């Protein structure tokens, strides 16, 4: 995870341009907004990235906590939303120190693929402790073992067509072939889960879960799960 954090903590070209970045975060924010349980809810977006549209989530909630492991990302987000009283930016360590049962919705989107199984299990246990009895955990953009590069490219081009950045998207695909991101993916790999494996992992962490359609992000070959805390202690 340290290598991935170093990547996200420095300027990178994972998005083809700023418009692609903002479209991405806006679409994800609208999905998260639809899951906020009440106007007074406390929401944690864990591994939030630049979250350029987080204000849309904050409008539907009482409090939004944005957390990312990369200090450079946190600094950008804190600067962007410094005048929004509903939004605070916290390190993962600060999130871990929140009181038990104090959060109504936790979102972990497009993060699990960069974590090993053991680290994800640790996070799920933390989220189980932080969530209120009626709270919800949303784990998004899980990559199944059968995911294909072709499907990812098609999903990107559909997004680009809808939002008017087809040319930059095509150039971005070429640029990705020589990018640090691709090199890291080859060297470190990404973690994959079947639907059954993710449901079992959530069950072991003390959650009742089901797959949600659509996925939080544009690639619908990937998966999102919504989980609620079980009343009983998690199985070991």
The angle subtended at Cα 80 by Cα 58 and Cα 33, nearest 5°, is 20
Residue 179: what pLDDT?
A: 77
Specify the pTM.
0.92
What is the DSSP-derived secondary structure letter of residue 85? T
Which among 157, 141, 162, 160 is positioned nearest to 214, based on CA atoms?
141
In terms of residue numbers, what domain contains 127? 2-229
How do residues 168-208 score in pLDDT, each as one tens digit? 889 888 887 767 777 777 777 799 999 999 999 999 999 99
Intervals of the chain under pLDDT 70: 1-2, 178, 232-236
Q: Note whether residue 16 is domain-resident.
A: yes
Q: Note whether residue 235 is domain-resident.
A: no
How do beta strands 103-109 and 63-67 pair? Answer: unpaired
How do residues 126-145 score in pLDDT, each as one tens digit? 999 999 999 999 999 999 99
Report the helix count and the strand count for the chain, using DSSP H and E: 10, 7
Specify the CATH number for the domain of residue 33: 3.40.50.150
Q: How far apart are the first and last CA of the chain?
A: 25
Q: Note whether residue 234 is domain-resident.
A: no
Residue 171: what pLDDT?
A: 87
Residue 199: what pLDDT?
A: 98
CA dist 61 and 4 (Å) reads 30
Q: Note whether residue 103 is domain-resident.
A: yes
Q: How many domains does the chain have?
A: 1
Residue 235: what pLDDT?
A: 45
């Amino acid at each position: 995870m340290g290598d991935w954090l170093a990547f996200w903590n420095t300027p990178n070209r994972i998005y083809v341009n700023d418009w692609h970045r903002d479209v991405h975060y806006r679409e994800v924010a609208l999905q998260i907004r639809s899951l906020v349980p009440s106007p007074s809810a406390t929401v944690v977006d864990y591994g939030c990235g630049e979250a350029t549209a987080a204000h849309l989530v904050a409008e539907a909630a009482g409090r939004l906590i944005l957390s990312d492991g990369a200090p450079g990302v946190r600094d950008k987000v804190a600067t962007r939303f410094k005048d929004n009283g509903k939004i605070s930016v916290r390190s993962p360590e600060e999130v871990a120190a929140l009181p038990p049962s104090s959060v109504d919705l936790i979102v972990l989107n497009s993060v699990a693929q960069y974590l090993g199984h053991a680290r994800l299990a640790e996070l799920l246990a933390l989220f189980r402790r932080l969530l209120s009895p009626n709270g919800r955990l949303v784990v998004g953009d899980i990559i199944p073992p059968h995911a294909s590069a072709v499907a990812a490219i098609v999903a990107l081009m559909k997004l680009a067509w809808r939002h008017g950045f087809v040319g930059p998207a095509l150039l971005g695909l070429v640029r990705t072939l020589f990018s640090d991101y691709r090199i890291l993916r080859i060297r470190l790999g990404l973690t994959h889960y079947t639907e059954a494996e993710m449901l079992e992992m959530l069950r072991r962490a003390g959650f009742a879960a089901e797959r949600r359609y659509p996925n939080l992000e544009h690639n619908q070959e990937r998966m999102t799960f919504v989980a609620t805390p079980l009343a009983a202690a998690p199985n070991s």
